[in-house]
Amino acid sequence: MSKSIFRTLRCCLLIYLMILVAGCDATYYWQAASGQLQLITERQSIEELVQSERTPPALKSQLQLILDARQFALDRLPITANDSYLSYVDLKREHVIWNLFVTPKLSMENQTWCYPIAGCVSYRGYFSQQKALASAQDWQQKGFDVYVGGVDAYSTLGWFDDPVLSSFLSRPPLGLAALLFHELSHQVLYVKDDTVFNESFATTVEEILLQQWVVHNHLQPTWSDYHTNKARQNAFMEMVIDNKLQRDQLFRSDRPASEKAIGKQRLIADLASQYQQFKAEWDHYSGYDDWFAQGLNNAQLSTIATYYELAPGFHALFQQSNNDLAEFINRCQALAERSKSERDSVLKQLATANIDYTEN
């Protein structure tokens, strides 16, 4: 049996199992599994595309970079051999999925959903923007804060051989390599039911590998612009996460709900004001204007925290691992064996106090 047929049968089996256990949620699982099946059936071999005279030169260059970055990562990460990112799919749309985030109006605790492969996560993915927005409207009518954001990549954690998607290719070369490193990191370590830990770990490994990639390929002249962009992004994230933490403290207080609602609006206004100062400090950069124009509700802020909130702790742990990636991953795997509260506590202490982490 060929690999492609095996993958298709595997996906069909997954569709059946999802619907079998889904009950009243069968419609959602059908769109999710059907979307995954479409990716499998429409994939093309990257090697054949690179060799083909019909492939546009710009696309060839991007696909070859992906092959090189993939091998670079596999040489450094403990990943079981698979065919992830050896095929390409032209989505013919801007994003592969749209994630829905749902948060109570007076809480920073995200609504979570549980899936057969990924466990419980703090977002709901849709292969159709229209369906994501319709679901968001339903939650909003129930009194929740909602946010829908397009996603260019996701990992099936090695369950399928994930393809490279056309949505990857809007990025510059370093950004393209970084995205690939991030997605491969999910195959290294993934803790069910802990989205922030998983995404923060992958973000950290992405940044570590990217710096090594720059040195390996003598790309230092291009690093300056990327580093500037990253510094600006970090400043943006710190600003948003700080506001998120202030909201969390407010919502957990014993103040009346009416006071919490007023305090939330004040914090939204504060964040908008801080953004104007941020723009002045970063040469009137307007790249976040659209994001700030969307209301700054609790669900929107949670999207930033998901990917970056624990990353400073992971970076501190990497430094304490003598900047050795293998040792860092070993320590992260040991940390993953602890409870969520213990993991969060260790990483937050590492970030703020730079304490030594040793397994007890």
How many whole angstroms separate alpha carbon 229 and alpha carbon 218?
19
Which of 20, 8, 77, 86 lies closest to 49 in space, CA to CA? Answer: 86
pLDDT tens-digit profile of 2-26?
454 455 555 555 554 444 444 447 7
- In this structure, the dihedral spanned by the alpha carbons of residues 69, 75, 77 and 83, taken in order and rounded to 10 degrees, is 70
Lowest mean pLDDT among 58-67, 171-180, 282-291, 305-314: 305-314
CA distances, 246 to each of 150, 202, 223, 249 (Å): 27, 26, 34, 5
Could you tell me if 8 and 41 are in contact, meaning their C-beta atoms sit under 8 angstroms apart? yes
Mean pLDDT of 268-289: 97
Residue in 88, 89, 87 with CA at minimum distance from that of residue 3: 87
Q: Side chain identity at 303, as an amino acid letter?
A: T
Neighbours of 27 (CB within 10 A): 11
Say how far apart CA 158 and CA 77 lie, in whole Å: 14
Q: What's the CA gap between 49 and 89, in Å, rounded?
A: 11
pTM comes to 0.85
Three-state SS at 164: strand
Residue 308 to residue 321: CA distance in whole angstroms: 20
Quick check: 204 and 315 in contact, CB under 8 A? yes
User: Would you call 352 exposed, middle or buried from its count of C-beta atoms within 10 A (0-12, 13-18, 19+)?
Assistant: exposed
pLDDT on residue 14: 54
User: Across the strands, what pairs with 113?
Assistant: 121
**CA pair distance 175, 134, nearest whole angstrom:** 32
| CB-based contact 186:157 (threshold 8 Å) | yes
What pLDDT is recorded for position 279?
97
- Euclidean distance between the first and final Cα of the chain, in Å? 48
At 357, the pLDDT band (50, 70, 90 cuts) reads very low
Question: How much is the pLDDT for 82?
Answer: 87
